[in-house]
Amino acid sequence: MRGTLSSGGFELAYSVEGHGMPAIVIGSAVYYARVFSKGLRQSLQLIFMDHRGFAKSSRDMKPEDYTLDVVLDDIDLVRRHLGHEKVIVIGHSGHGYMALEYAKRYPSHVSHVVMIGTGPSHSAAHQEASERYWQESVCPERKAKLASDLALLPGEIEAAPDKRFITFCIRLGAKSWYDHTYDATLLWEGVHVNMPVFDHLWGETFRDLDVQKGLDKLDIPVFLALGRYDYLVAPYATWDAYRGSFRDLTVRVFEKSGHTPQLEESELFDAELLEWLSSS
């Protein structure tokens, strides 16, 4: 089932696929439908939804149109539209913050939180930790691949500045994937982006976000899936300082994954996630 919901001049597309417990996957309804396995759809009803960074807009955007609070309200709009009292919320990368903050804001409507490839924050300190991890642990071939890909960035961004978020995601493949030669271009085909939304949320909101705030009141189990070869976010050990703030946190590090274990090790990811859901 596919549809769109109008919210503040944005057309939020959604796609409902599979059977089982309802799980809202926050992000692009196009991109994220491609990175979760068909097998997982046999056990969960996956609801892929656009947030305003991926939704088409019928008017000029203003800063108040894409605050985190507005995005969280849009997630709840989708939940209510589909008639679910409680849902699992799933967020990958920066969308993991959206999933966690949604659970803090609407705890009575969330059964579980799943964060995938999410660092503790996008702060300067955590970016520095990510860069140090990259410099100290990466093979020369991976570093050479990144250098050659980054050399293409200026020309590509100049040609399509409105798609620079996607261009960055593709050209940072050596930092993103266990197989550093993997080309993610097809995953992004047909995906619409609104750069002001990403500039604000990723550049400001997630930089300053304190994930510990409100965790003392959050009595919802959280599953944190991380890739051993993820160099886009702070290394998994940086979460150690935050573990004690969660009431119920399960961490899984996937040995042959980078930033997207739900695609890179889909069978193992599905098994770990479903086992956790059945036991928590």
DSSP per position, 177-225: -SSTT---GGGGTT----HHHHHHIIIIIHHH--TTTTGGG--S-EEEE
Q: How confident is the model at residue 215 (pLDDT cuts 50, 70, 90)?
A: very high
Summary mean pLDDT of the chain: 96
What does the pLDDT read at residue 60? 86
- Distances 20 to 42, 87, 145, 208, 217 between C-alpha atoms, Å: 7, 11, 41, 36, 28
What does the pLDDT read at residue 19? 96
Please state the rounded mean pLDDT for residues 242-268: 97
Are 88 and 22 spatial neighbours (Cβ–Cβ below 8 Å)? yes
What percentage of the chain has pLDDT greater than the value 90? 98
Indicate which residue of 93, 130, 176, 266 is catalytic: 93
Are 54 and 193 spatial neighbours (Cβ–Cβ below 8 Å)? yes
What does the pLDDT read at residue 125? 95
Are 250 and 113 spatial neighbours (Cβ–Cβ below 8 Å)? no
pLDDT tens digit sequence for 114-136: 999 999 998 999 999 999 999 99
Residue 59 clears pLDDT 90, i.e. is over it = no
Residue 169 clears pLDDT 90, i.e. is over it = yes
- Note if 259 is an active site residue: yes
- Note if 230 is an active site residue: yes
Indicate which residue of 92, 109, 200, 259 is catalytic: 259
Q: Whole-angstrom Cα distance, residue 152 to residue 171? A: 8
What does the pLDDT read at residue 58? 82
- Note if 200 is an active site residue: no
What does the pLDDT read at residue 195? 94
How is residue 42 annotated by DSSP? Answer: G
Indicate which residue of 50, 74, 230, 270 is catalytic: 230
